[in-house]
Chain A
Amino acid sequence: GENVEQHPSTLSVQEGDSAVIKCTYSDSASNYFPWYKQELGKRPQLIIDIRSNVGEKKDQRIAVTLNKTAKHFSLHITETQPEDSAVYFCAASPDTGSARQLTFGSGTQLTVLP
């Protein structure tokens, strides 16, 4: 089955700096890679996702890059703000077949210091 590794487990940055979170996956059949943000006691919320037919996707201050050859993908948050503080999870899933569940990384606790 799929295995997703996520680093770092904790990340502290100063407000206005950039934050980068990296994930690797093991199953070459995976081709859908979402990122979720989870605030304490809340549901995971999708912030951006990427499919394997593109290498990069951007949405305002958030971008995701994908390297299918190396089986890794990264989340980039620029101009961080205190409200970006949360736990971020990467995930991977195959696009076809019956196994469509998401396999999640272990999470990164991001703290943006004012």
Chain B
Amino acid sequence: NAGVMQNPRHLVRRRGQEARLRCSPMKGHSHVYWYRQLPEEGLKFMVYLQKENIIDESGMPKERFSAEFPKEGPSILRIQQVVRGDSAAYFCASGRNRGGDTQYFGPGTRLTVL
């Protein structure tokens, strides 16, 4: 699981700015999941992507949040016009190309909105 990379590890933004979080899955993994963890809470599913496709975005707010996983490069979670309530740890996990496979988590990006 050390192979899932996320950057930046810490991100500070002022209200109204944009936040871009990146996730590179483990080698050989083509499924990426984004989860959000509010302080002292559990992880909540946001979005599930495969290369060039959003499979399930049912956990992602309709406004200001978007995600992509291009053919080349990392998956990106973008939060526009951040608000204080967006402050959280954002984890991505990756899995192989089959159902019910183990998900390995990256180290997370801790977003602080001032």
**B 30-50 to A, binary, CB cutoff 8 A, 1 in contact else 0:** 010101000001111100100
Known: A43-B106, A43-B108, A104-B44. A93 touches B56 (CB 8 A): no
Return the contact of A107 from the options B42, B99, B105 (Cβ within 8 A).
Answer: B42
**A 91-109 to B, binary, CB cutoff 8 A, 1 in contact else 0:** 0011111111111111100
Query: A31 interface residue, CB < 8 Å from B?
Result: yes
Query: B107 interface residue, CB < 8 Å from A?
Result: yes
The size of the chain A interface, using a CB distance under 8 A, is 28
Residue among B100, B102, B106 with the highest chain A CB neighbour number at 10 A: B100
Query: B1 interface residue, CB < 8 Å from A?
Result: yes
Known: A102-B45, A104-B43. A95 touches B99 (CB 8 A): yes
A-B contact pairs, 16 of them (CB 8 A): A1-B58, A31-B100, A43-B106, A43-B108, A44-B43, A46-B102, A93-B100, A96-B99, A100-B31, A100-B99, A101-B56, A101-B59, A102-B93, A104-B42, A106-B42, A107-B41
Residue of A nearest to B31 (CB): A100
Query: A61 interface residue, CB < 8 Å from B?
Result: no
Query: B12 interface residue, CB < 8 Å from A?
Result: no
**A 19-60 to B, binary, CB cutoff 8 A, 1 in contact else 0:** 000000000000110101000001111100101000000000
Cβ-defined contact, A43 with B91, below 8 A: yes
Known: A104-B44, A107-B42. A98 touches B103 (CB 8 A): no
Q: How many angstroms from the CA of A40 to the CA of B64 in the assembled complex?
A: 29
| Chain B residue contacts of A49, Cβ below 8 A | 102
